[in-house]
Amino acid sequence: MTFTPTELEVEGAAGGEVVREGAPVPPPASGRRVARAFLRDRAAVACSVYIVLIVLMAVAAPLLVKISGYGPLEFDQDAVDPNLGGIPLGAAGGMGADHWFGVEPGNGRDIFARIVYGARVSMLIAISATLLTTALGVVFGLIAGYFGGRVDMVISRVMEFLMAFPALIFMIAVLSALPAENRQILLVLVISFFGWPYLARIVRGQTMSLKEREFVEAAKASGATSAQIIFKEILPNLASTIIVMTTLAVPGYVGTEAGLSFLGVGVVPPTPSWGQMIASSVPWYAVDPAYFLIPGAFLFLLVLSFTVLGDRIRKLLGEGTA
């Protein structure tokens, strides 16, 4: 579900140590050193390759569907057996030359086509929510940490309220009450509304530490404005933290979208969604396990890849500062 770290800390940002809220921020790691270490890390490379393949699959979904021969909304009644309740004909859920991943029981829709279009939906929502969450979290965290006083008090109280609020229940209630139009945009807005305080809290704490550094005092003495100090002096020193937190947030948002779609309040049918496919497969998993396993495997591997990649990046950035 949404990325909600239980402690206000970023592990590994200083050579494997824990950087807590308000702790000194390590200098940024050498880009070339991190890149070389990344390429030597097989797990990080493997996860990156899978993520890139999913992104390419989502971008090239229309072309892939043309090659496979079936669209995500096309029904192939010849691929299911009406005498057996619509069970797909053939082994492994009807996999074959015509339907590479088989067909959905009951209606005969091509699973491959719905997987590639479902990847487009999942990635679009997760990346959009991550970008919006990062923008809000960084801006509000910088403002609260730098200015302090009443500004910090107001922003901190808002963050604490949102972090204490039962986000999932609110998401289900709001999305159930709203119309089905523009559901993907609503998902991005609702997810981001509850997601930004976690990054903002980390950014706030580290900004409070950075604003006391000598280079900030020197910038003030040279006549730099508050905006210049925040975005030109402090923000670059938070790049490693923001990269790590952003990478770890993506899998949470992928899971959030899938979970809401599974519960029936996310992406609205007939728009393909992996979570929606998993929900539809529940009555069929005993007679057609492939229908459940295929979208489940894609979702599991994507979340795992982002999680492992984020952890590897955290360690690599930490080693680069040692």
Tokens in use for 275?
């979570």
Amino acid identity of residue 107, one-letter, is: N
Residue 30 — pLDDT band, cuts 50, 70, 90?
A: low
CA-based nearest residue to 125, from 243, 245, 257, 3: 257
- Classify residue 54: in a domain, yes or no: no
Tokens in use for 94?
């009807």
- Classify residue 35: in a domain, yes or no: no
Average pLDDT, the chain: 83
- Classify residue 174: in a domain, yes or no: yes
pLDDT in the model for residue 263: 87
pLDDT in the model for residue 108: 83
Total number of domains in the chain: 1
pLDDT in the model for residue 158: 93
Answer whether the bond into residue 72 is a cis peptide, omega within 30°.
Answer: no
Answer whether the bond into residue 270 is a cis peptide, omega within 30°.
Answer: yes
Residue 220 — pLDDT band, cuts 50, 70, 90?
A: confident
Q: Map residue 22 onto helix, strand or coil.
A: coil
* Residue 105 and residue 291 in contact, taking contact as beta carbons nearer than 8 Å: yes
Query: Which residue, chain included where needed, has tokens 């808002």?
Result: 158
pLDDT at residue 56 is higher than 90: yes
- For 140-182, the pLDDT digits (tens) are 999 999 998 999 999 999 999 988 888 888 888 888 888 777 8
Amino acid identity of residue 271, one-letter, is: T
CA-based nearest residue to 187, from 73, 266, 295, 258: 266
Note down the domain range covering 223: 9-23+117-320
Residue 242, Cα to own-chain centre: how many angstroms? 14
Query: Sign of the C-alpha dihedral, residues 240, 242, 245, 248?
Result: negative
Question: Looking at per-residue confidence, does 144 or 107 come out higher?
Answer: 144
CATH number, domain with residue 227? 1.10.3720.10
- Classify residue 77: in a domain, yes or no: no
- Classify residue 41: in a domain, yes or no: no
- Classify residue 72: in a domain, yes or no: no
Tokens in use for 171?
């998401």
- Classify residue 87: in a domain, yes or no: no
Residue 41 — pLDDT band, cuts 50, 70, 90?
A: confident
pLDDT in the model for residue 119: 92
